[in-house]
Structure 1
Amino acid sequence: METSKRFNEAVNKLYKAFHENNLKPLSFQHCAVGTILDHKTYWKEFSDANGSLQLNYVGLVHQRLERKFNGYSPLELLEIEKTFLQACGYQLPLHHSTFSSKKESKKVLFKGLEAVIAQLCVFDRIPNVMDCSKLFDFGGNKRQTEVQEFVGV
């Protein structure tokens, strides 16, 4: 499957951050979007509330000028962050009362990572690379026969 440069770079950065324990939902530099944007925080100025899809004036200007940031529009960046925060279990948009000082587990962060990668696939109109269900789909196809022969059924 052919993927875009922006997709490959984003997934590589997210993968590296996840395995180096540098993926942090409540950090503008180390969240999903901060990671994709090389730990820059300018993206937070595109909306008045973290986790919202509502572009503010700055975000609208960039969106209407069709600006891209590491390949993604301001609205796509907000969608990525919303997806990540929701998958990590946060109520959105974030408010100071919803912040938690506890450390997210690897399992929670993986759910966030998985959701973000699925969203990136939607943006690029490619099949979800995180979906392994087809590997286990043996419903009446040639693979089922091959597996049955292999296991002696």
Structure 2
Amino acid sequence: MGTSKRFNETVNKLYKAFHENNLKPLSFQHCAVGTILDHKTYWKEFSDANGSLQLNYVGVVHQRLERKFNGYSPLELLEIEKTFLQGCGYQLPLHHTTFSSKKVGKKVLFNGLEAVIVLLCKFDNIPNVMNCSALFDYDGKQFHSTQTKYQDLVGV
């Protein structure tokens, strides 16, 4: 199974941000979509509420023109952000009364990141790379090599 260039680049950016403690759900520059878009914030102009899938006028124009931003349409970007925020446990759409400014822990960020990667797999019609059960496939008679299964999953 192979993955797309946009998938690989996106996962690499998110992975790097996660491990460098630079993934911040409440920052337009450092959230999932901000990270995917190289810390640019123009994407927030596609909707009137963070965590909403409702495109505003600007978002609709870009969507209808079939514009892509690092490979993703405006609606896909909003869906990625919504998924990330939900995975981190936020009530959506975000409003200043529905979240605290406490530091978000690694476990919470990982949950959000995992949800996003599952969504990215769905976008690209590839099996869920976060599902590790295929790596440890056991059919009752024969145990398949983890290395071989991993290579099959990522196309190495």
- Residues 32-86 of structure 1: CA distance to partner in whole angstroms, max 9, x if unpaired? 0000000000000000000000000000000000000000000000000000000
Shift of 1:141: 5.3
Unpaired segments of 5 or more residues in structure 1?
147-153
User: Which one has a bigger Cα radius of gyration?
Assistant: 1
What letter matches 2:22 in structure 1?
A: N
Question: Distance in 2 between the 1:57 and 1:82 partners?
Answer: 19
- Report the TM-score, using the length of structure 2 for normalisation: 0.89
Q: How many residue pairs align between the two structures? A: 145
Deviates more, 1:15-24 or 1:128-137: 128-137
What letter matches 1:5 in structure 2?
A: K
Q: What secondary structure is seen at the aligned counterpart in 1 of 2:11?
A: helix
- Report the TM-score, using the length of structure 1 for normalisation: 0.91
Where does residue 79 of structure 2 map in the other structure?
79
Question: Distance in 1 between the 2:55 and 2:101 partners?
Answer: 27
What letter matches 1:117 in structure 2?
A: I
Question: Distance in 2 between the 1:141 and 1:126 partners?
Answer: 28
Note if contact 1:80-1:116 (Cα within 8 Å) is conserved in structure 2. yes
Where do 4+ consecutive residues of structure 1 move more than 6 Å?
none
Question: Distance in 1 between the 2:141 and 2:62 partners?
Answer: 48
Unpaired segments of 5 or more residues in structure 2?
146-156
RMSD value, Cα: 1.4
